[in-house]
Amino acid sequence: MAVKNIMIVGVGGQGTLLTSRILGGLTIAGGYDVKLSEVHGMAQRGGSVVTFVRYGEKVAEPIVEEGQADVIIAFERLEALRYAHFLKKDGVLIVNDWRIDPMPVVIGTAQYPEHILETLEQGHRVYRVNATEESRKLGNPRVFNLIVLGVAAQHMDFTKEQWYEVIEKTVPPRTIEINKKAFDVGYTLLS
Amino acid sequence: MAEKVIMLGNEAIARGAYEAGVKVSSAYPGTPSTEISEYLVQYKEEVYEEWAPNEKVAAEVAVGASLAGVRAMACMKHVGLNVAADPLYSVSYMGVNGGLVFVVADDPGLYSSQNEQDTRMVARAAQIPVIEPSDSAEAKEFFKTAFALSEEFDRPFIFRTTTRLAHSQGLVELCERVEPEDKPYVKDIRRTVMMPVNAKQRHIEIEQRGLELAEAANTLPINTVEMRDSKIGVITSGIPYQYVREALPDASVLKLGMVNPLPRKMIEAFASKVETLYIVEELDPVIEEQVKSWGIPAIGKEILTIQGEYSANMLRRAILGETLELKAPAEAPQRPPILCPGCPHRSVYYVLNKLKMHAAGDIGCYTLGAVPPLSVVDTTMCMGSSISTLHGMEKAKGKAYVKNWVAVIGDSTFLHTGVNSLMNMVYNQATGTVMILDNSTTGMTGHQDHAATGKTLQGDPAYAIDIPALCRAMGVKNVVTVNAFDTALLEKTIKEETAKEEVSVIITKSPCVLLDKSKKPLYKALPDQCKKCGMCMKPGCPAMTKLEDGTIRIDDTMCTGCGLCADLCKFGAIELAKAGE
């Protein structure tokens, strides 16, 4: 199998590291060679963060470069815009339809771009989900990232059972049920 | 077949330490090296691990353990090695008893550092051999090799990683722990007391050991030649090896597992078999300059940068001359790192900004007080430097000049190297004011304990250094502790203390908001009461958005209920929506 390139982009603190642990566990369960690259440290304090996941028969480079991503999972609109050029032709962009203002916008030195999703839809296959709102309905807005992963799961090479198994192994024990429920919401939302 | 698991580079190093039979590890947290020590804790039955107050201490602890006769290690980031440089240069002369390895993590691309220095340069200056892995599997295996070579050649080793290696995950095969027998300690001051008469002799001996190791490097299994097409030959090591394999799958490659000293004969033989030789190494031309000094034609930094990280596409462009047609990135406002919602530093900086103060800053999350809208921090250089920088300003321009200056330093950084600087202020009759932003943790690196938190790395209770008492013991007469969120008291205290003709220490004591796992309160904005004055937006809280009509929205997924915004609103337009638990 050719190497598959996935990216998770978002804002530091949104749970990208948890998501990357889940994806790492999955690729092993699938029997692939895998490399993941994460951001720790300063950028995790509310900065723009990106995780690269590459899996296939044999993986050398641990990062995904411009024009190479099969799937980009974006936890926030502006971050989807920032990294969309990493998508390959026919690549899939899954976006949490949510806005977090970066500091230049908060203090009024920059504008949050308007119509991001509409712009992106013109050049890419975009699946949007308001996972933050959906997770609120589940009673825990922190599990929004599992909803986004549920949507992404439809564009990846793993069974629902494999996802479940890895979620069970990865998230804190007392949050297993709500995280699986959140995954289900995403998994059935756009199918 | 052995079990395969996925591991972060740093996790693989910890596993390598376990399998190598390491018994003692000491470290100070520093991105990208921190997780090594955290992953080591799972092996605490077999491996003793600790947080030291700084890297010099950590390195010396490891040296002591090695001299006593066990395998020992210290972990640090690249700039931490500068702090540990003093023991490093001399233990190089002393050699080892049990194997001794310093893990040093470089940060090409400056993800979380103040400079881009190349540890291999320091290692060459200190005559320390360096091993460098290119993925998680090698991180574990090469770590064991480092200990074997350290003992065989009587040299301390540096195990060099980079951010990309440290924070990438890959597959690793687990092996059993093999614990070498403790070596006896044999008193031999000729080797272990570095006074001139002994050091002179040791210098001669270690030069000889260096030559022997350089010779052995030619046949070391971790230095490998992969002959493919002979048109392009590449000498590389570490993570750049992966980019070479991705971009130039047909090229012949000499992959160095040991990057100091270099295997000269191996390199000469490889160079003679390829038409064009490239040297692909991130940061400084360490391999390149040596290879060229031997009269071997090679191409390196003529076409490749000394700044930042490499990538496969970069090599495709530079070496193959490929023009890659890529979409340009969209225009998007930057998203720099920021202080978290509810961070106690924000409150402190809001008050300092209001008082139009300058701050000599330090290394930690609170460095972020340099950027708008807080814009309080004027300097950031290295650990502990805030206090001494402030002192230098006073001695240059007089005590009146520093009345609108303070030094700001975190609790962990204060204990790291700030204490000496404060001692200097007292001793040399300074009048400046030092603010210790005490959030009860090492924040930026992800919440590590330190000597004032009351807990060890292994999770055991420990005596918590009393920071106010420590300051008083050094002779600071004015030591005041204030809650970071009590802006009125903080303002009054800063005015009073900076006006004094003596050293003052103000400790703002409020735990890091990420550390407090209790259910937080939540505030909401009341648009009908809002006068659109913008006061609440001044501290730059990321949970707050100014809407088009000028009123405010508070993001309920981000607000941690610190109440700073409500405190600043004169019109009661921000109120508690939900109490904490």
3-state secondary structure of B385: helix
Cβ–Cβ below 8 Å for A108 and B557? no
pLDDT for B1: 55
**Chain A contact present for B322, CB below 8 A:** no
- Per-residue pLDDT reduced to its tens digit, B344-366: 999 999 999 999 999 999 999 99
Mean pLDDT of the B152-157 span: 97
pLDDT at B409: 98
| Structural domains of chain B in order of their starting residue, each with its CATH number | 4-216 (3.40.50.970), 224-320 (3.40.50.920), 344-515 (3.40.50.970), 522-578 (3.30.70.20)
> Which of B170, B312, B333 is the closest to A34 by Cβ?
B170
Provide the pLDDT confidence category of residue B170 given band limits of 50, 70 and 90: very high
Handedness of CA B377, B379, B381, B387 (dihedral sign): negative
Q: Give mean pLDDT, residues B445-468.
A: 97
Query: How close B316 comes to chain A (CA, Å)?
Result: 12
Quote the pTM value.
0.97
DSSP states of B117-128 as a string? --HHHHHHHHT-
**What is the rounded CA–CA span in Å between residue B370 and residue B408?**
11
Average pLDDT over residues B407-434: 98
Q: How many CB pairs under 8 A join A and B?
A: 171
Query: Which residues in B lie closer than 8 A to residue A47 (C-beta atoms)?
Result: 335-338
Calculate mean pLDDT across residues B411-428.
Answer: 98
Which ipTM value was assigned to this complex?
0.95
Q: How far is CA B157 from the centre of its chain?
A: 19
Note whether B359 and B388 are within 8 A (CB): no
**Amino acid, single-letter form, for residue A54:** R
Residue B336 touches partner A, C-beta closer than 8 Å: yes
Please say if the pLDDT value at position B578 is more than 80.
yes
The reported pLDDT for the residue numbered B399 is 96
Could B336 and A102 be called an inter-chain contact, meaning their C-beta atoms sit closer than 8 Å?
Answer: yes
Chain B positions in Cβ-Cβ contact with residue A44 (cut-off 8 Å): 337, 446
Q: Which of B311, B368, B540 sits opposite A106 (nearest CB)?
A: B540
Closest residue of chain B to A87, computed from CA coordinates? B327
Per-residue pLDDT reduced to its tens digit, B86-123? 999 999 999 999 999 999 999 999 999 999 999 999 99
Those residues of chain A that have pLDDT short of 70 are: 191
CB within 8 Å: A60 and B242: yes
Q: Tell me how crowded residue B127 is: count the other CB atoms within 10 A of its CB.
A: 19
Residue B239 · residue B246 · CB < 8 Å? no
Put residue B566 in one of left, alpha, beta given phi > 0 → left and psi -120 to 50 → alpha.
alpha
**CB contact (8 A) between residue B444 and residue A42:** yes
N- to C-terminal Cα distance for chain B? 50
